[in-house]
Amino acid sequence: MNLENFCLDLEKVNKISEKETREKIHDYYQIMLSAKYIDKNDNLSQNYFNTLQKGGYLIDIRDQKLDKILS
């Protein structure tokens, strides 16, 4: 899993009306990165990645760059 290709979709997160939910998503993203790069716990990082990805809260930067180049 290459997390460098993904970032948090702040536009989507900021549209959430409940502050607690927005903060929880930010926390999940932070835990995902910490688990991957500080704790070296790929399993935990992958679990948080899957949760954020399936919720639609991650943007694939690589795909955006390709779309920009091809358009």
pLDDT above 80 (res 70)? no
Under the banding of pLDDT at 50, 70 and 90, the label for residue 14 is very high
Give the span between the Cα atoms of 8 and 30, in whole angstroms.
Answer: 10
Domain ranges for the chain = 3-70
**CB-count burial class (<10 Å; 0-12, 13-18, 19+) for 51:** middle
Three-state SS for 61? helix
Question: What does the alpha-carbon distance between residue 55 and residue 50 come to, in Å, rounded to a whole number?
Answer: 8
Report pTM: 0.85
Instruction: List the Cα angle 38/50/42 in 5-degree steps.
Output: 30
Amino acid 7: pLDDT: 93
